[in-house]
Chain A
Amino acid sequence: MDTKETEFLRLIGENKGILYKICRIYQDDPEGRDDLLQEMILQLWLAFGTFRAESKFSTWMYRVALNTAIVFFKKQKRRPDNEQLPHNFERAEEPSAAGEKEEQLALFYKAVQQLGKVEKAVIYLYMENQPYDEIAANLGITPLNVRVRINRIKSKLKEIIKTMNYEY
């Protein structure tokens, strides 16, 4: 294994949470998440040569991984099943043992499935605590536009969660 590959594997391993959450946001079934995960790793590897160490690896990774998720299309529509975890994903705790916040997070992931692709990217970067300027730079829109979109998406999510019979 050459140095470039070793370095890539190290950086991907350190930032795998980014891939994990993008998969959960963009794909509602385990196979879809597996496929997307593989696609993102491939695209990151292919684009690794363009990464300049002047910026943080995670910043570059957000961009490539999100663009890959946006362009990714499933081969066929599968039955949505949000309760299942993908084959490459395991969690330390069982859902039943999860606390209230974890339950709410699961509901949030479910609600996010009903958003559009761009809306998913916006809310994902927002949840990752990215500043508005950074989100705007990643998406190619203005910071003001980001601010307005986030408010809209929050309201939309609130409505979706209400229709899921959950008291907001």
Chain B
Amino acid sequence: MNIDDLKDAWNNDEPKGMRLPVSTAMLGKTTSAVERLRKNMKAEFIATLVSYVIILVFMFGRPQISFLFNIACFLFFTILTLNCFYFSRFYVFYKSISRYDFNMKDSIRKITYELELNMEVYKTYNFSVAPIAVLITITLTCSQHTADFIQHILAAHAFISLGNMLLVFLIILISFMITYVCFSWHVRLQFGKYLAELKQVMNDLSEEA
């Protein structure tokens, strides 16, 4: 079999009865990795808005300990600012990830770069937001006894001992490490194989024959 001899059969291989699913396709119901990423970003944004409502209900919907309420307010505004920053960044990405009219090398390079960059931004976002979210949860849900304990620690007139300082440092370090590992694993599981495949395509295209 000679491949060049197949060109006639190839040209005659016409899709006579082919139905184009134009109306469904143009609605955007597709399954690509990029589309999945967009859907995840959208879902994440909605989940964040819902979490704000829950936080506000907790803050104003039931009697609070004033000291912890004040801390929750500071933390809430911090997380709000962080979310605004990151989601505006994600929104720019959301709008820019569909440029397929360049040549293949440029298109793949752009998509790979954007995907990798935003995977890192996403990890950083979670890394910075998760501890604050945990602190807000603690401040809004802890008992009077725990609140008294926290207030006692923070308002103490003595300096914290070196041992306690190291203990706090270790707890924070380990918590951050666990958070980072969990989110890295989650992102790699979600998009790692797509990124690896795109990089493989990039390598194939860059390879000099």
Contact = CB atoms under 8 A, between A and B. Distances in A.
B16 A92 contact: yes
13 contacts: A13-B20, A37-B20, A39-B25, A47-B99, A66-B104, A71-B198, A88-B18, A104-B1, A107-B1, A116-B204, A139-B103, A139-B105, A152-B209
Contact of B15 (A16, A43, A119): A16
B6 A127 contact: yes
Contacts of B55: none
A12 B22 contact: yes
Interface in B74-119: 98-108, 111
B8 A101 contact: yes
B18 A70 contact: no
Overall SS of chain B's interface? helix
A67 interface: yes
Contact of B105 (A13, A16, A35, A140): A140
Interface of B: 1, 3, 5-11, 13-22, 24-26, 28-35, 98-108, 111, 193-194, 197-198, 200-201, 204-205, 208-209
Given A12-B22, A37-B21, A75 B31 contact: yes
A38 B30 contact: yes
B102 to A, nearest CB: 8
Contacts of B5: 101
Interface residues of A, number: 70
Given A60-B101, A63-B100, A116-B204, 13 more contacts: A12-B20, A34-B21, A39-B32, A42-B30, A67-B101, A74-B31, A89-B17, A101-B5, A108-B3, A118-B205, A129-B7, A140-B105, A167-B1
A41 B26 contact: yes
A71 B111 contact: yes
Contacts of A63: 100-104
Given A71-B111, A145-B208, A9 B197 contact: no
Given A17-B15, A38-B29, A118-B204, A70 B104 contact: yes
Interface in A16-55: 16-17, 19-21, 34-35, 37-43, 45-47, 50-51
A38 B15 contact: no
Contacts of B98: 43, 46-47
With a 10 A CB-CB cut-off, give which of A38, A51, A166 has the most chain B CB atoms: A38
A40 B102 CA distance: 15
Nearest to A65: B100
A79 B197 CA distance: 20
Contacts of A47: 98-101
A24 to B, nearest CB: 8
A50 B201 CA distance: 25
Nearest to A12: B20
B22 A121 contact: no
A70 B201 contact: yes
B100 A139 contact: no
A13 B209 CA distance: 36
Contacts of A118: 104, 201, 204-205
Contact of A38 (B1, B24, B34): B24
Contact of A71 (B16, B22, B33, B205): B33
